[in-house]
Chain A
Amino acid sequence: MNRAFFSLVKTLLNVQYGISEFRERYIKDKRRLWQPIVLGLILLVGFGTLFVMYVFMLIGVAAGGAALGQPELVLTMTILLAQVIELITGVFTIMTAFYFAQDLSILIPMPLKPSQIVAAKFIGVMLSEYLLTIPLMAPAIIIYANYAAVSAMYWIIAVIITLLAPILPLTIASLIVMVLMRLVSATKSKEFFTVLGAVLGVAVSIGIQFFSRHMTILGRDGLDNFAIGNMDFVRMIGSAFPPALWATRAMMMDTAAALYFALFVGVSAVLFAGMLLLAQAVFYRSVLAGTEVSGRRRALNQQQLAGVLSKKRSHTRALFNKEWKLFWRTPMFVTNTIMPLIVMPVVLIFSMMTMTSSPGQGSQELAVSFASQQGSMIFNLIIVAIFIAASGNAVGYTAFSREGHTFWISAAAPVDVKECINAKLLSAWAIMAPFVVAVIAILSVFMHCSLVDFIIITLMAIPGITLAIFLAMLMDALNPKFDWDTPQMLFKNNAASGFTLLAILLLLAVLVLIAILLIASPLGDGMVYAILIAVMTGLTIPGYFILLDAARRLYRGTRLS
């Protein structure tokens, strides 16, 4: 460890967290300071709610564990949870940080060892993981202290274990990634791995869905087992990932605590050293393979050229085609937008299949409960609300920013901004449409909904989704982010995403309020639907013009300087 290494770490952290940029943008120019504050508050409220729920859940787990004579259960569970999440997410964060970072072309020519670059990047990833590790583990450590007579040493060991917790999963993730990248030609793997990551993300989401359902059932039987026998739940959970068990034992402060602490620290250190050795041997070779890009260099003959150029398209059509191709050819755009849309119907299917212990029965029960007129209306409104919520996605809030440094082409083109907006709206709708069709198809299979309900849902969804897309696009037009070199940078710290979430929540709140007032009124169902459709359609008209105005200012360059 020398001065160069510390300087490297400092610089990478500065770049990763945008410290200098933050100072320049928000501290020197205080007018913009409200942006990170508002974003921070949104995140605080959003995650704060989740955190409170999580703490209450841990209190329940600790109480259950204590009743069974195993208060340390809460520690094992949280350490396991933190480390498993770090392992899964780590594979992709490490892959991005080690292999797909833009700064590698700057770092490799420098007189630095591969292991130094890897170690510096590893530290950056590890610090990010603390954002997850600390909120997950700290409450459990405090809750456990209430059940066991802990000494000052407990707190010291707990802090050390919390700080060391991400090392092991991230080291394992690094080893997996380095071996994978060495085996597969990085030239072709870049986009493949991004898509693979997304597919795994879907698999994990579905897995969690199944796991949580399974645990609910298991939990009932498990508690019965506890009542009659003496099942070692800590050992059972810990066996899934032994380091979680070692960390728990280290914090229990019994006679073997020192040994388990040494085991936890030792294994982490040995694996970390092994990872650095592997990096020294293979890192540069894998990265350099990834920088080789070549074209096919197959020229088009006159006939082929004539074929390609034989059709003139309207501006909107040409812009739409461009949007469409760029979207589908950039895996990060696809994964960040499409995967949540795919997960939602899949989760919907599993939720319906596993709503009760007998598969399939749940959906029938739900279908019966929604069969009454009022039930049917609420069900339809919920589905439309889901559509609206899902439409505030990255297709909208990156509609302009996706163009990045190439935005000059659109801004310099002799095309009315209205045509650009229409093309972007069409492209967003084209991406959303299969999702809407899929959800409606699922509902028709599982919920046996009537044709009338589907027509109503569709009629409400069209203005609702359009409105949500307008809002998302407006947020992007007001907070564009053109200065990105990799699609990852576009999605990282994207202010428009937070503002879109807020705007969609506000829209839903207003619509829900109107719906409640209408349902409570003596109006018939048909009139309620008609008014809601009219309200949403009515809102799309000023929505379009507000968006157009913001976009015109954007294209005129007032936000490009």
Chain B
Amino acid sequence: MIELKSVSKAYNRGTVKAVNNLSLTVQPGEIFGFLGPNGAGKTTTIKLMVGLLEPDSGSISIDGFDMRTDAIEAKRRMAYVPDNPDVYEKLRGIEYLNFIADVYDVPVSQRKERIAGLLDTFELTDAVNDLIQSYSHGMRQKIVLIGALLHDPSVWILDEPMVGLDPRSSFQLKELMRQHCDRGHTVFFSTHVMEVAERLCDRIGIINKGRLIACGTLEELRHGQRDESLEQLFLQLTEEANV
């Protein structure tokens, strides 16, 4: 479960409010889609959730562990995939995965099976012994995904995870996300692809200028207007917020 309570983050001495009093709860067994225009505060929110930024106020907890007081326990329970697959280019794929397995305390008895399974799922087995600098953008995205998932965390926090993935891998990831939630775990991901959010998410949140302007199931967002697509809703809501 992910819980954000009145979280705020400002830049430039408080003049730019990247995230403004954001409260949000993502329940176990739920896929939560986080939408918003460019610069709305999606990545900042995600960085606050994973501990890459510290909120000015408010609290964040992952599976009940507070990010401020129990950061290590909270981090142990989450998978994070950033919007850019920046990884150690000078390591081989397998060295990177082994490193991640060590720092996330994956037992030796489990890491081989998990790594082999994920490599197979994302079709990266043939390249895992190569230096990451020889990988394409999509392959880097895959190695980051595998690294994030290999300790089998309960909470997945993914920042635009489908970008750069080939259709097959993108499909596999969506399947994994569904299976993960079916096991009672949590997925939080940001995306610009409305169709993906529409089809995959149990609930959707829309952020604009740091404020959560809408949150709920697709039905709740539609307010009874059944024929409206998520794209139309998104445009309507963000325009209203801009006025």
Please give the residue numbers on chain A whose beta carbons come within 8 Å of chain B beta carbons, in ascending order: 293-300, 302, 305-306, 308-315, 317-319, 321-322, 325-326, 329-330, 404-406, 408-409, 411-416, 556-558, 560-561
Q: Are A309 and B75 in contact (CB under 8 A)?
A: no
Cβ of B125: which chain A residues have Cβ within 8 Å of it? 299-300
User: Shortest Cβ distance from B130 into chain A, in angstroms?
Assistant: 3
Q: Name, among A319, A408, A415, the residue most crowded by chain B CB atoms within 10 Å (CB to CB).
A: A408
Q: Are A321 and B134 in contact (CB under 8 A)?
A: no
Q: Are A318 and B99 in contact (CB under 8 A)?
A: yes
User: Shortest Cβ distance from B6 into chain A, in angstroms?
Assistant: 19
Docked Cα-Cα span, A557 to B73, in Å, equals 18
B61-98 interface code vs A (CB 8 A; 1 in, 0 out): 00000000001111110001010101110110011001
Q: Which of A317, A412, A558 contacts B54 (CB 8 A)?
A: A558
Cβ of A302: which chain B residues have Cβ within 8 Å of it? 116
Please give the residue numbers on chain B whose beta carbons come within 8 Å of chain A beta carbons, in ascending order: 9, 11, 47, 50-54, 71-76, 80, 82, 84, 86-88, 90-91, 94-95, 98-108, 111-112, 115-116, 125-131, 133-135
Q: Which of A293, A297, A311, A408 contacts B52 (CB 8 A)?
A: A408
Q: Which of B84, B104, B106, B134 contacts A413 (CB 8 A)?
A: B104
Cβ of A412: which chain B residues have Cβ within 8 Å of it? 50-52, 75, 80
Please count the residue pairs between chain A and chain B whose beta carbons lie under 8 angstroms apart in the complex. Answer: 123
Cβ of B86: which chain A residues have Cβ within 8 Å of it? 404-406, 408
Docked Cα-Cα span, A299 to B127, in Å, equals 6
Cβ of A416: which chain B residues have Cβ within 8 Å of it? 72
Q: Are B111 and A557 in contact (CB under 8 A)?
A: no
Q: Are A299 and B129 in contact (CB under 8 A)?
A: yes
A556-B108 in contact given A299-B125, A330-B90, A414-B73 (Cβ < 8 Å): no
Q: Which of B72, B88, B127, B130 contacts A406 (CB 8 A)?
A: B88
Cβ of B88: which chain A residues have Cβ within 8 Å of it? 322, 326, 406, 409
Cβ of A330: which chain B residues have Cβ within 8 Å of it? 90
Interface majority SS on A: helix, strand, loop or mixed? Answer: loop
Q: Which of B71, B74, B103, B126 contacts A315 (CB 8 A)?
A: B103
Q: Are B94 and A557 in contact (CB under 8 A)?
A: no
User: Shortest Cβ distance from B177 into chain A, in angstroms?
Assistant: 19
Docked Cα-Cα span, A294 to B135, in Å, equals 8
> What are some 28 contacts across the A-B interface (CB < 8 A)?
A296-B130, A297-B126, A298-B130, A299-B125, A299-B127, A299-B129, A300-B94, A300-B129, A308-B94, A308-B98, A309-B101, A312-B106, A315-B102, A315-B103, A317-B102, A321-B99, A322-B99, A325-B90, A326-B90, A405-B84, A413-B100, A414-B72, A414-B76, A415-B72, A556-B51, A556-B54, A557-B54, A560-B53
- Which chain A residue has the least Cβ–Cβ distance from B103? A413
Q: Which of A295, A306, A409 contacts B112 (CB 8 A)?
A: A306
User: Shortest Cβ distance from A403 into chain B, in angstroms?
Assistant: 8
User: Shortest Cβ distance from A367 into chain B, in angstroms?
Assistant: 44
